[in-house]
């Protein structure tokens, strides 16, 4: 075969292989979502959201306790994590040359790469081991620690996108630095910061590993953050690894609810930013 | 001084200026507290892990890493099977995920029609949003049955001459965990490599095409080498994810403290042992051993991620030794 012909064919074959890779890479998402709907949707009804689990062997029941637990724990994690994360991100954007900012950026990258199970161990030694009991609050603390570096980095990136001329204009009008920062700069990129926060919330809402030995999970409705608490991902884990078919059914339905929450949050976040910043690109 | 200069008619009140200074001070102080919390938390984490594992460090030292027995009752703890399991599952994941994600990344940046780029990248990045425990659930009830009945027997028949694919077939196995990990780390490798490939200057491909290269040759000999260290960084980033991944692996790997040559056999990873045993740890030394595992895992991921960051950073700063590969 002519060498040139061979080179053309090689190019075509490689492109074919890459298209194959795209298909294989996209397939898992569709397969996973498809199975979740197929196996989970049938078990979802009103009772699933409003009732507590029933003993093994009985059918029916719901995961209201886990929904409440996830909302409470993620909410408290947000209350702790978002202000610290956003504040730290603002510091890095306001004082970019400050040595503290450099250190914090590096540390945030390290923390972003830290396995969530290690953060769970940390929360256990810090809170559970000292209080001598499992608690929803320990779970919240672990989740907050995962949120902080994520929120910090996105906040900084978003603030950096604000044109410098806006800041200069505000300063020239006689605004104090803090007012310039809060009511001009941060306000301009607020949608971006909200997006970053939503993504962080979506991410921790699906976290299981840091809750295993902090919140522990529970079969009862618990609204007390000082007590062990159920959560959607923990419920999926317990029920998926249990021996009963009924449990597996609940695991699928719970997973479907969980993924809906997570995907809706991340879709919302992405759509919000895209509309905001498409003009710039 | 010119005559036309407007005179300042009114000085701002001293109170206003002072209020402004106070506002700025409070503002900076609040942000400083927030930013100080970040390194403080990490320092605290390292300290607590160190204190928590000191008992085990003193008792076992570095023998911990080479020991193969894990017996909480006899208080004997060796982490070698865990370390080997962690590395093997991550290696399996990378072997599958790297070609796939590179293929996708190269296709999307160099070949695909424009309208296809955003949707495909978006779908693959959604994979990163799926919680680990959902991967585990899907793995147990969908992936493992398929693997056990069709894929593993096929692999044993065709590649059975390799020790990796011999022996009895278990559903929960190193290979099953590796495959689910591959799906999980693919989005990270894909999106970072796509970013570094997009950062390659257009002149690089134009030069190759101008010299008569086919589009594939241009991509493979001019674009990819330019972005090489960034791609390596992306792969290492994926490695970091794979090493620390917990839930899906715990649910699929079979959780057995053994080093087996076969990928069909169950294994264990560092993250999985912490997930399984921490709540039920019976003694202080057991807790300490598990903390020691957590500390080692932390140190390894810090090193791996640090390396990845440096490599990616070199490309995005344009100091990749660009063009030297051509």
Q: How far apart are CA B283 and CA A266, in angstroms?
A: 42
Average pLDDT, stretch A104-129?
93
Best residue of A27, A135, A178, A266 to probe chain B, by most B CBs closer than 10 Å: A178
- Average pLDDT (B9-14) is 61
Q: In this complex, do A152 and B30 lie within 8 Å of one another by their Cβ atoms? A: no
Superfamily classification of domain B63-316: MetI-like (1.10.3720.10)
Among B34, B183, B244, whose Cβ lies nearest the Cβ of A87? B34
pLDDT at position A278 is 44
Whose tokens are 């994600």? That residue is B101
Instruction: Give the separation between CA B187 and CA A29, rounded to whole angstroms.
Output: 11
Determine the pLDDT at residue B11.
Answer: 59
Average pLDDT over residues A15-42: 94
Please give the ipTM for the structure prediction.
Answer: 0.92
pLDDT tier, B150 (very low <50, low <70, confident <90, very high otherwise): very high
- Kindly report, residue by residue over B29-38, the tens digit of the pLDDT: 999 999 999 9
Nearest to B229 by CA among B167, B293, B320: B320
Q: Hey, where are the domains in chain A? A: 3-43, 48-277
Of the pLDDT bands very low, low, confident and very high (cuts 50, 70, 90), residue A218 is confident
What percentage of chain B carries pLDDT values higher than 70? 93
Which of A79, A91, A199 to mutate against chain B (most B CBs within 10 Å)?
A91
pLDDT in tens, B216-263: 999 999 999 999 888 999 999 999 999 999 999 999 999 999 898 899
Q: At residue B98, does pLDDT exceed 90?
A: yes
> How far lies B207's CA from each of A271, B111, B267, in Å?
37, 17, 50
Quote the CA–CA distance of A272 and A183 in Å, as a whole number.
Answer: 20
Give the CATH class of A48-277: mainly alpha
Q: Are B132 and B247 in contact (CB under 8 A)?
A: yes
- Give the closest residue to A240 by CA, choosing from B146, B147, B128, B138: B138
Question: Residue B94 pLDDT more than 60?
Answer: yes
Residue spans of the domains in chain B: they are 63-316
Which residues have a Cβ under 8 Å from the Cβ of A65 and sit 6 or more positions away? A52, A53, A218, A219, A220, A221, A222, A230
Asked if A118 and B244 touch (Cβ cutoff 8 Å), the reply is yes
Q: Report whether pLDDT(A221) > 50.
A: yes
- A2-6, A100-104, B252-256: lowest mean pLDDT where? A2-6
Which letter does DSSP use for residue B261 in this model? S
- Asked if the Cβ–Cβ distance from B305 to A39 is below 8 Å, we say no
Average pLDDT over residues A115-138: 93
Q: Give the mean model confidence (pLDDT) for residues A67-87.
A: 96
Look at residue B322 and tell me whether its pLDDT is greater than 60: no
pLDDT interval class at B312 (50, 70, 90): confident
Q: Are B41 and A145 inside 8 Å of each other by CB? A: yes
Encode pLDDT of B104-119 as tens digits.
999 999 999 999 998 8
Q: Kindly tell me if the per-residue pLDDT of B320 is higher than 90.
A: no
DSSP 3-state assignment of A167? helix
Per-residue pLDDT, B301: 94
Supply the pTM of this predicted model.
0.90
Which residues, numbered 119 to 138 in chain A, qualify as contacts with chain B under a Cβ-Cβ cut-off of 8 Å?
A: 119-122, 124-126
Asked whether the beta carbons of A254 and A48 are under 8 A apart, the reply is no
Residue in B closest to A88 by C-alpha: B35
DSSP letter string, B266-310: ----HHHHHHHHTTT--SHHHHHHHHHHHHHHHHHHHHHHHHHHH
pLDDT for position B9 = 52
Instruction: State residue B325's pLDDT score.
Output: 35
């Amino acid at each position: 075969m002519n060498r040139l012909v061979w080179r053309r064919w090689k190019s075509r074959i490689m492109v074919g292989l890459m298209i194959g890779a795209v298909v294989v890479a996209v397939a898992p998402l569709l397969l996973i979502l498809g199975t979740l709907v197929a196996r989970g949707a049938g078990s979802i009804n009103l009772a699933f959201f409003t009732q507590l689990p029933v003993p093994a062997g009985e059918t029916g029941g719901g995961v209201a306790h886990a929904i409440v637990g996830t909302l409470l724990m993620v909410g408290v994690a947000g209350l702790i994590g978002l202000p610290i994360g956003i504040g730290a991100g603002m510091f890095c954007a306001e004082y970019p040359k400050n040595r503290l900012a450099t250190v914090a950026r590096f540390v945030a990258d390290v923390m972003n790469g830290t396995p969530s199970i290690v953060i769970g161990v940390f929360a256990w030694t810090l809170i559970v081991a000292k209080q001598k009991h499992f608690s929803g609050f320990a779970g919240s603390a672990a989740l907050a620690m995962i949120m902080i570096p994520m929120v910090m980095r996105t906040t900084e990136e978003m603030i950096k996108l604000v044109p410098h001329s806006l800041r200069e204009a505000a300063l020239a009008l006689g605004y104090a630095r803090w007012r310039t920062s809060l009511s001009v700069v941060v306000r301009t990129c607020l949608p971006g910061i909200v997006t970053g926060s939503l993504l962080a919330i979506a991410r921790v809402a699906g976290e299981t590993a840091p809750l295993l030995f902090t919140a522990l999970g529970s079969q009862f409705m618990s609204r007390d953050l000082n007590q062990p608490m159920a959560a959607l991902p923990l419920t999926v884990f317990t029920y998926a690894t249990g021996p009963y078919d009924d449990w597996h059914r609940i695991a699928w339905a719970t997973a479907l609810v969980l993924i809906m929450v997570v995907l809706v949050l991340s879709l919302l976040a992405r759509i919000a930013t895209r509309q905001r910043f498409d003009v710039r690109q | 001084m010119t005559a036309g200069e407007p005179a300042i008619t009114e000085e701002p009140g001293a109170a206003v200026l002072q209020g402004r200074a106070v506002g700025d001070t409070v503002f900076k102080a609040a942000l400083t507290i927030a930013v100080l919390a970040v390194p403080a938390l990490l320092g605290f984490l390292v300290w607590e892990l160190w204190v928590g594992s000191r008992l085990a460090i003193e008792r076992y030292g570095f023998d911990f890493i080479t020991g193969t027995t894990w017996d909480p009752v006899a208080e004997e703890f060796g982490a070698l099977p865990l370390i080997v399991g962690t590395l093997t599952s991550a290696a399996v994941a990378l072997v599958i995920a790297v070609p796939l994600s590179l293929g996708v990344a190269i296709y999307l940046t160099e070949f695909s029609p424009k309208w296809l780029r955003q949707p495909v990248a978006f779908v693959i990045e959604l994979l990163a949003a799926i919680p680990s425990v959902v991967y585990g659930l899907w793995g147990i009830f969908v992936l493992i049955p398929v693997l056990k009945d069709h894929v593993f027997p096929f692999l044993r028949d065709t590649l059975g001459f390799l020790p990796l694919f011999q022996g009895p077939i278990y559903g929960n196995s190193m290979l099953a965990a590796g495959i689910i990990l591959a799906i999980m780390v693919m989005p990270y490798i894909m999106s970072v490599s796509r970013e570094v490939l997009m950062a390659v200057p257009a002149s690089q491909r134009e030069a190759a095409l101008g010299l008569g290269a086919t589009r594939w040759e241009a991509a493979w000999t001019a674009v990819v080498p330019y972005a090489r260290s960034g791609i390596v960084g992306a792969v290492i980033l994926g490695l970091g994810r794979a090493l620390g991944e917990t839930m899906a692996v715990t649910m699929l790997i079979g959780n057995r403290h053994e080093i087996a040559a076969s990928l069909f056999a169950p294994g264990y990873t560092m993250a999985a042992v912490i997930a399984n045993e921490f709540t039920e740890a019976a003694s202080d030394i057991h807790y300490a051993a598990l903390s020691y595992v957590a500390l080692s895992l932390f140190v390894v991921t810090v090193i791996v991620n640090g390396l990845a960051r440096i490599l990616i950073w070199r490309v995005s700063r344009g100091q990749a030794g660009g063009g030297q590969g051509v």
